[in-house]
Chains A and B, each alone.
Chain A
Amino acid sequence: MLLVVLEHDRGTLGEPAREALTFGRTLAAKMGVEMHALAIGAGAPATEQVAAASGDHGAARLYTVDHDLLSDFGPEAWGQSLVQVINTLQPGAVLACGSERGNEVMAQAAARLDWPFVANCTDIIPPAGGGGQWSMTRIQWGGSLLEDATLTTGTALLTCGLHTVASAPVEPAPVAPPETQAVAVELDAALARTVVKDRVVLEAGVTLPTAPVVVGGGRGVGSAEGFAPLEELAELLGGRVGCSRAVTNNGWRPHSDQVGQTGTRIAPEIYIASGISGAIQHWVGAMGSKHILAINIDPEANMVVKANWAVIGDLHQVIPAISAEIRRRRDRP
């Protein structure tokens, strides 16, 4: 059996879990086994939404771990829970999405078991005939390079790279949610030490990782004030402003706006990249975008070459003109 660890936030299943289930369906088929899912939490972690979404994405069965210590995310408590579930269920492989939490929980479990863990795979080939050596391709350099690797292990601990696959439900949709089964765990109370203590919400609504439109600015924007037209366009389109590493290094935008290997990996419907040359460190954060429109004075810029569409020109003139045109069309009777 392939066990997929579901990333959820206090009972709400997010996009990373759907991606892991979508990736996991293919892997389970290659292994010739069923795909089951695991929800770790407190107070009925398998909410209706978690059960329905995991079933819709192909989980044949849903296991739950329900423990008071797991009322919020805690890497050590989640890792220890996963270890006990692995010992109880003996899955052939365990998969999570290579999100920040996914990689962290798998690393915690791997450390406890002293087993290998291969992060951010893009393709996985299970051993022929059930035992022996796994082969995989995984992400290095944030996706600028790929590594072919082998893994010799009993149960493989794996994550799939974030946005390696687009999530997709199974068709036709299952008629009923998957059968749910509780797995008991015993957790040392000391593990509460790394459970989230508090949360601070800074902004509600559309955020950079989930925005349908991202308007990005690079060195070409020139200053913090230069981002005002980008903000305006982003607001018109219900999106968010992102930026390159050069921008945060210059202190023009907070690091939380940075798109790239060391920042946020975005996956919007369209990324409007203005004044961004497209260095690899930025590109790997932007390449999950479904479409890219580049605005740059340099027609040879990497971002222009990799875009679906480009406007050659000064972003300080082009972006306000785009905003004006959107307003004009919206005001049309």
Chain B
Amino acid sequence: MVLTKEQVRALAAAARIGITEEELAVLTPAMNRTGQYIETIREAPIPEGITEEGGGKPATANPGRKDQVQPSWSREAILRNAPQQAEFCFQTPRFFAE
């Protein structure tokens, strides 16, 4: 895999991460070095019969919790770390234009 600066810029936009031109110049070759290394996985001689499902979950099953109402955090506590709040809500810039 070889990514161009334009592709990295598009990835950054998709990931909602601001990057400067200077960062782009460093990130693009760094990502491509990792990408070249990752290419080797396509040549892995994976034995017959192995499916990706075996890689997706731990060997041991997990138990579920009882579906019971439990005490939770107060609204004040949850909002304590909010960068901005109003009327017991997280406040964000406007989503839709007026």
Do they bind each other? no
